[in-house]
Amino acid sequence: MSCLLTITDLSYAYPDGHSALKEISLHIGPGEKVGLVGSNGAGKSTLLLHLNGILQGSGEIEVDGNLVVPENLGSIRSAVGLVFQDPDDQLFSPTVFEDVAFGPLYMGLPEEEVRRRVAAALESVGMEGRSRRVPHRMSLGEKKLVSIATVLAMKPRMLALDEPTAALDARSRRRLTRVLQQLEETIVVATHDLSLVSEVLERTVVLDDGRIVADGPTRSILSDSQFLRDHGLV
């Protein structure tokens, strides 16, 4: 199998000494949709923050053949689109247009291409026609969709989303689920929302206390209720 993401023996301890990731090895191929599940504190967010070099542990991460190291961060950050759990960490511009255009402009793309990308990214998340809205006045569900558009506009090789459905009401959750189902990109979704996992993600990786304790087809992992209980997932 060709690999888009290869993680080899990644361990990470926070500055206070807390060991959050322990010898993680993981391969993800192009087009895969992978759920990264685990109870609170399992290490999901910490792992995502390594994918584009925000945190750097020991071990090795390669994205599309490029090592995630400080000298490659420019290309890594356009290859891995990270969608933070809190959209207020992602959206900071006075208009939706400017937020979604930020990445493509930063990449140095010509204005016309930036406009095309903004329009296409907003359409992919069902937010076309909202480019003049003020991000910080939108609902949480809308902000989450715009956050996804900000990374889609960079045409990343893969998207990594942290708890995309956390705190959403039922309607926003359904809408977000549909958007994720329709994306053609490779996606890794950190979540403890098992219904999102079963509806969208065909492969599941289970983290517990910083270690991978299972990796396989979602259907078989979610059908083992004793295993789910043992790892605090139900």
Ligand X SMILES: Nc1ncnc2c1ncn2[C@@H]1O[C@H](COP(=O)(O)OP(=O)(O)O)[C@@H](O)[C@H]1O
Binding site for ligand X (CB under 6 A): 14, 16, 18, 20, 38, 40-46
CB distance 193 to 170 below 8 Å: no
- Which of 44, 77 has the CB closer to Mg ion? 44
Comparison of 83 and 149: residue with beta carbon closer to ligand X: 83
CA neighbor of 82 nearest in space, from 49, 105, 106, 41: 49
* Residue 20 interacts with, from ligand X, Mg ion, none (CB under 5-8 Å by kind): ligand X
Residue type, position 176, single letter: L
d(CA 80, CA 64): 10
CA–CA dist 233, 25 (Å, integer)? 21
Please report where in the chains the tokens 């000298």 appear, as a residue. 71
Smallest distance, Å, CB 22 to ligand X?
11
Q: Closest approach of Cβ 111 to Mg ion, in Å? A: 37
Q: If contact means CB under 5 to 8 A according to the sort of partner, which of Mg ion, ligand X, none does residue 41 touch?
A: ligand X
Strand, helix or coil for residue 120: helix
Judged by the rule CB under 5 A, the positions of this chain that interact with Mg ion are: 44-45
What residue 46 binds from ligand X, Mg ion, none (CB within 5 to 8 A, per partner kind)? ligand X
Identify which of residues 57 and 104 has a Cβ nearer to Mg ion in the complex. 57
